[in-house]
DNA sequence: ATTACTAGTGTACGAGTAG
DNA sequence: TCTACTCGTACACTAGTAA
């Protein structure tokens, strides 16, 4: 006996997820088998076959439409994708909702500090965190491997989105942040993700100059509580 | 040429997700290849091979431990699982954050009504929705297929968890609900999921007796706004 | 352009089994 | 019990190509 046929194959599942990413959840999405294949890293022919298989299994509706296909998940497909998503969310969001970081104060690259200093971010930050940040960040260098791993969780946690803005000259993108606490001060942590290198740095903002308020010097140890929601 | 080897195979991905569900994100998890195989719907031998492949790819750490194996995701594995999750979340949470339901008032099975009438739920509901519910629910029968599909989204949306309680005799489980509005009244919608049949029913609660307040009779049409977050 | 057939091939699988 | 080897097979894939 091969496999319980009532269970979707990994191929079916990943194809379904890809279709969800393409927006085939609510309404029909226009997709060609070559584009789908490209997105999945397989050939056009294999993508075509996968769609046919998904249709056989009652997971998608498939109709020829102009140059390509119009595809939409059926109720069964949505159920499958939805429970897969719900399961994964349960797995990813398990654990503490509050992370304590410990690291060492360092000057940093003033990247976050630059953004916080822009007056256009004041209102968005007030809405997101409940305070207007002091124009400068407290940078912590994370050395312990456990801390770096913990930092990585912030990449994939939802966080709070601070919307971007334009000032006429250029546009400033949205920033993901988290509510936090440093010592007795209400604070926020910025999750600006550019490179994997960033996982050793934690950037905190607060209504006050944290460095001065807590009398922190370069290299001092410091801890930050981050609230995941 | 087969496939771009830098991309995980569907098999690798689903195995990784299963490991995440088993809690291999933060710390090592004790798992036997047969149990993993069972969870994945494959044989013990295949599960063993998949773990070896994942280790080869640098996605998990694997160590023999007593009777079975101790498995943990590496940084690369967490990154992969995390971005997969983030992508899927983006896909699933796309669309309106506010759903408008339209259906017909009917007597219902009084299931939700029974729960709301229990005094032990009063405080949890107050915390979750901001009001103590009138002991009875307004039941809407959804007939339009679009409404039923929309109703299905509530199954997989996160919602607000109303914690359960014990009253000495028995324990009452947690209930998922959403903030909502019926006419001019602040309300809530209960998402008690027992069977797929439930997707044609929407159960609303409010601080007042909605049926009386809105002068609704059996079979009257009525609409409910549900807020997904 | 497309979709999707056919043919041939690599591989993931289950079964059996050793350590 | 466990893990994980070998082996034979079923199948998902790529390539070629028709419509």
**Residue B79 phi, psi (nearest 5):** -60, -50
| For testing contact with chain A, the best of B20, B88, B96 (most A CBs within 10 A) | B88
Q: Residue B101 in 3-state DSSP?
A: strand
Average pLDDT of B195-220? Answer: 90
Mean pLDDT of chain B: 89
Per-residue DSSP letters for A5-26? TTSPPHHHHHHHHHHHHTTTTT
CA A7 to chain centre: 29
Q: What is the pLDDT of residue A110?
A: 66
Is A135 exposed, middle or buried (CB count within 10 Å of its CB: 0-12, 13-18, 19+)? middle
Residues with CB under 7 A from strand D: A 2, 9, 11, 37, 41-43, 45-46, 49-50; B 1-3, 10, 31-34, 44-45, 48-49, 51-52, 62, 64, 67-69
pLDDT of residue B154 exceeding 60, the answer is yes
Q: What is the DSSP letter of A215?
A: T
- The string of pLDDT tens digits covering residues A159-196 is 999 888 888 778 888 889 999 999 999 999 999 877 66
**CA nearest to B131, candidates B79, B208, B23:** B208
**CA nearest to B162, candidates B99, B118, B102:** B118
Is pTM beyond 0.75? Reply is: yes
What is the SS3 assignment for A173-190? Answer: CCEEEEEEEECCEEEEEE
Poorest-confidence range of A73-77, A92-96, B109-113?
B109-113
The A-side interface with B (CB below 8 A) comprises 3-4, 7, 9-11, 13-14, 17, 20-21, 23, 25-26, 41-42, 75, 78-79, 81-92, 94-95, 148-149, 152-153, 155-156, 158, 196
Lookup result for tokens 């830098």: B6
Lookup result for tokens 């149990």: B35
CB atoms within 10 A of CB A114: 12
Give the C-alpha separation, B25 to A152, whole Å.
Answer: 11
pLDDT of residue B3 exceeding 60, the answer is no
């Amino acid at each position: 006996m091969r496999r319980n046929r009532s269970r979707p194959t990994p191929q079916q599942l990943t194809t379904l997820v890809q279709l969800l990413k393409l927006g085939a959840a609510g309404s029909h999405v226009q997709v060609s088998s070559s584009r789908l294949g490209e997105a999945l890293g397989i050939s056009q022919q294999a993508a075509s076959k996968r769609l046919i298989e998904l249709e056989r299994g009652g997971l998608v509706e498939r109709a020829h439409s102009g140059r390509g296909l119009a595809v939409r998940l059926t109720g069964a497909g949505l159920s499958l994708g939805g429970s897969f998503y719900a399961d994964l969310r349960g797995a990813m969001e398990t654990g503490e909702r509050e992370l304590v970081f410990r690291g060492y104060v360092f000057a940093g690259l003033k990247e976050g500090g630059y953004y916080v200093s822009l007056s256009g971010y004041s209102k968005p930050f007030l809405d997101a965190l409940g305070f207007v940040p002091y124009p400068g960040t407290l940078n912590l260098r994370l050395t312990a491997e456990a801390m770096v791993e913990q930092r990585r969780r912030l990449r994939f946690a939802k966080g709070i989105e601070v919307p971007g803005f334009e000032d006429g000259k250029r546009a400033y993108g949205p920033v993901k942040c988290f509510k936090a606490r440093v010592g007795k001060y209400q604070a926020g942590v910025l999750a600006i993700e550019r490179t994997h290198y960033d996982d050793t740095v934690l950037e905190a903002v607060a209504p006050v100059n944290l460095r001065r308020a807590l009398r922190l010097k370069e290299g001092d140890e410091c801890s930050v509580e981050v609230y995941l929601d």
